[in-house]
Amino acid sequence: MKRWENRVAIVTGASDGTIGGAIALDLVRNGMIAIGVARNISLVEKLKDVDSSTLKTGKLIPYKCDLTKPDEIEKMFIWVKANYGGVDVMINNAGVAVMKPILEMEVEEMKNLLDLNVIALTLFCKLAINSMLGRGINDGHIINMNSVLGHQVYGYLNFYAATKFAVTAVSEGLRKELAQKGSFIKIT
C-alpha cells in the first residue's frame, strides 16, 4: 500500500456502516485520499468521526452524488480533477437489488437496477480510466464489486443477476480494451 500514499481513490456507496464505508476508511488508514461518494453525504461524514490517530496521513472527502444521474457523475470527475488532479483507484461498490422475481417487477424497478448497477458503474469506469490515461497513470486500478449472481443464475433475484452479469462483461471488456492499448491499468 505504500505506493498508494497521497494518491486519490473514489469509493461509491461509501456510507457509514457499509462495505464501501469500511473500504474508504481502510484506504485512508493507508494514506490515500479517499473520496467517499453517496446520495446521503451525512452518512459519509459520520465516517470522519473515527479516531483520527488511526487514519495516518490520508483524508476522507465526502462527496454527494446521485449515481443514477450521469451529469452528477461527470461533474464529480471535473471537481476531482480540479481539486486533486484526478483519480488513481476507482472502487465501484454502490449497488441495489430488488427482492422480487422478474415476473413481479415494475419497469421502473428494472430501470433503477440498470441505472445504478450497470450504467453508473460503466460511466465511473470510463471516466476514471480516461483520468488515468490522460495523466499518464499506468498503474491505476478499477475494482468493480460484483456478486456470485454475476456468474451463475440460481433462480432468484434474476434481474439483479442480469445486472451483475453485465458487470462481469463490462469488467472483462474493459480489461481487453486496456490490454489492446498496452495499458497496465488493472480491472478487478
* Axis-axis angle for helices 121-134, 158-180 (nearest 10): 20
Which DSSP string corresponds to 80-97? HHHHHS--SEEEE-----
Q: How far apart are CA 163 and CA 98, in angstroms?
A: 11
The grid cell for 16 is: 457509514
The grid cell for 160 is: 439483479
Q: How far apart are CA 127 and CA 17, in angstroms?
A: 27
- Active site (annotated) includes residue 160: yes
Task: Name the catalytic one among 63, 84, 154, 160.
Answer: 160
Q: How far apart are CA 139 and CA 2, in angstroms?
A: 13
The grid cell for 42 is: 451525512
- The residues assigned a catalytic role are 160
